[in-house]
């Protein structure tokens, strides 16, 4: 008799505008190879070997636009759309109200090139240890410009943080019972503030967050070479 796999949910958060792109539409709706970026991102999670419930969190003003885009592109992947909040923290909190998985991943809508093995590893480590976040080593030198004069700092002490950030559902829900603070830049910071440890796993370099025109150029390159 086979052991049933643990249930999984992914909350895909989207917000903001396309101003940094020089665009009139939100960046997650910009087209990449004929489809909005968000569709590429959703497809990454729909293609996992073990199914994951997909919840998309959008600003209220963008929900109808997304519905229209799904009709236009005949986008059939099953997902739930809910309204976001003032800050990312509040959007994730809204997503948690709908998520039913025992493991929950939170992912940026404009990261369509996360590798499947990174997603799976984050889920596996979260199941074992409670929380997992993908990171990359830094290549460039770093300086602390908060000092006067600025000072060099060892890059080996730092890492670039990506998504999906994965957690046991009960751990993440407990952390989000706390009130919002400006120090909450991602889900890992919320969980750490609640006194929980976060494990780090290796991310993939292609897993960029598409926020500038140069990012979009890289995205087109990655898509052409997938």
In a domain, 39, yes or no: yes
19-47 exposure pattern, b = at least 16 Cβ within 10 A, e = fewer: eebeeeebbbbbebeebbbbbbbbebbee
Distant-in-sequence, close-in-space partners of 78: CB < 8 Å, separation ≥ 6: 46, 54
Walk along the chain (226 residues) and give the pLDDT tens digit of each residue.
Answer: 334 479 999 999 997 766 667 778 899 999 999 999 999 999 999 999 888 999 999 999 999 999 999 999 999 999 999 999 999 999 999 999 999 999 999 999 999 999 999 999 999 999 999 999 999 999 999 999 988 899 999 999 999 999 999 999 999 999 999 999 999 999 999 999 999 999 999 999 999 999 999 999 999 999 988 7
Q: Does 3 map to a domain?
A: no
| CATH code where residue 28 lies | 3.90.550.10
Angle of helix 116-129 relative to helix 37-46, nearest 10 degrees, comes to: 60
Collapsing DSSP to helix, strand or coil, 9 comes out as strand
Instruction: Report if residue 135 sits inside a domain.
Output: yes
Torsions phi, psi for 186 (to 5 deg): -160, 180
Among the listed residues 69, 84, 82, the one whose alpha carbon sits nearest the alpha carbon of residue 38: 69
pTM of the model: 0.94
Domain membership of residue 173 (yes or no) is: yes
Length of the chain equals 226
Q: What DSSP line would sit under 124-168, residue for residue?
A: HHHHHHSEEEEEEE--S-EEETTSSS-EEE-GGG-EEE-S-EEEE
Strands 53-58 and 80-83, by their bridges, are: parallel
Residue 168: inside a domain, yes or no?
A: yes
- Domain housing 184: 8-224
In a domain, 148, yes or no: yes
User: Per the structure, how many domains does the chain have?
Assistant: 1
């Amino acid at each position: 008799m086979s052991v049933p796999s643990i249930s999984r949910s992914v909350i895909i958060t989207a917000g903001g505008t396309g101003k940094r792109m020089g665009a009139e539409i939100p960046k997650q709706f910009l087209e990449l190879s004929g489809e909005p970026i968000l569709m590429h991102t959703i497809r990454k999670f729909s293609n996992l070997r073990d199914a994951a419930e997909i919840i998309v969190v959008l600003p209220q003003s963008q929900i109808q636009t997304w519905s229209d885009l799904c009709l236009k592109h005949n986008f059939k992947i099953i997902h739930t759309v809910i309204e976001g909040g003032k800050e990312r923290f509040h959007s994730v909190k809204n997503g948690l109200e709908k998520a039913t998985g025992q493991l929950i991943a939170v992912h940026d809508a404009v990261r369509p090139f996360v590798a499947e093995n990174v997603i799976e590893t984050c889920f596996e480590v979260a199941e074992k240890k409670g929380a997992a976040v993908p990171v990359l080593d830094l290549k460039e030198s770093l300086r602390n410009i908060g000092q006067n004069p600025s000072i060099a700092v060892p890059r080996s002490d730092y890492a670039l943080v990506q998504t999906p950030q994965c957690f046991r559902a009960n751990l993440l829900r407990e952390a989000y019972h706390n009130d919002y603070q400006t120090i909450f830049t991602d889900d890992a910071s919320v969980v750490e503030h609640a006194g929980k440890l976060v494990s780090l796993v290796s991310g993939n370099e292609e897993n960029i967050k598409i926020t500038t025109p140069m990012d979009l150029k890289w995205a087109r390159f990655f898509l052409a070479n997938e």
